Amino acid sequence: MKVHHMALTLDVDFDKQQLQGSVNLLFNRITTSTQLILDGRRLNIASITDTSGRQLEFTQQHVNELQGEMIIIEVGSELTEVVVNYYTSKDAQGLQWLTPAQTLGKQSPYLFSQSQPVNARSWIPLQDTPKARITFSASIKVNNGLRAVMSAANSAEMPRDGLFNFEMEKPIPTHLLALAVGDLAYGEVSERCAIYTEPAMLEKALKEFEDTESMIVAAESLLGPYPWGRYDMIVLPPSFPFGGMENPRLAFITPTLIAGDKSLVSTVAHELAHSWTGNLVSNATWRDLWLNEGFTTYFTNRLVEKIYGKEQAELEWVIEYGRLQEEMQSMPLASQTLPANVQDQDANDSFNRFTYDKASMFVHELESRLGREAFDKFLFDYVEHFKFEAITTEDFVKYAKQTLLTQHSSVISESELMIWVYGEGLPEWFIGPTSTSLDKVKFALKQFGEGVNAAKLNVTNWRVHHWQYFITQLPFTLSQVQLKDLDMAFDFTNSQNAELACDWFRVAIKNQYEIVLPKVAEFLTNIGRAKFVKPLYSELLIAGYRTQATTIFEQARAGYHPSLQVQLDLIFKD
Catalytic residues: 271, 356
- Distance separating alpha carbons of residues 149 and 123, to the nearest angstrom: 16
The enclosing H or E element of 221 equals helix 212-223
Residue 542, Cβ neighbours under 10 Å: how many?
A: 12
- Distance separating alpha carbons of residues 250 and 271, to the nearest angstrom: 10
The enclosing H or E element of 19 equals strand 18-28
Beta bridge partner(s), residue 235:
253
- Distance separating alpha carbons of residues 166 and 153, to the nearest angstrom: 6
| Contacts for 345-353: CB closer than 8 Å, 24+ residues apart | 346/66, 347/66, 347/117, 347/118, 347/286, 348/117, 348/563, 348/567, 350/117, 350/286, 350/287, 350/289, 351/117, 351/289, 351/293, 352/327, 353/323, 353/324, 353/326, 353/327, 353/328
- Distance separating alpha carbons of residues 265 and 506, to the nearest angstrom: 23
Beta bridge partner(s), residue 3:
27
Outline where 491-561 has alpha helix (H).
498-510, 517-526, 530-542, 546-556
- Distance separating alpha carbons of residues 363 and 338, to the nearest angstrom: 12
Name the nearest CA neighbour of 303 among 398, 220, 393. Answer: 220
Q: What are the CA-CA distances from residue 11 to residues 103, 140, 399, 424, 527 (Å)?
A: 21, 6, 45, 49, 29
For helices 310-330 and 464-472, the axis angle rounded to 10 degrees is 20
Name the nearest CA neighbour of 339 among 406, 402, 294, 387. Answer: 294
Beta bridge partner(s), residue 174:
none
Question: What phi and psi values does residue 6 have, to the nearest 5 degrees?
Answer: -135, 145
* Greatest distance between any 2 Cα atoms in the chain: 80
Would you state the torsion angle of the CA atoms of residues 526, 531, 537, 541, taken in this order, to the nearest 10 degrees?
Answer: -170
CB 538 within 8 A of CB 571: yes
What is the length of the chain?
574
Sequence-distant (6+) residues with CB within 8 A of 329 are none
Beta bridge partner(s), residue 302:
none
Give SS3 for 325. Answer: helix
Question: What phi and psi values does residue 13 have, to the nearest 5 degrees?
Answer: -110, 100
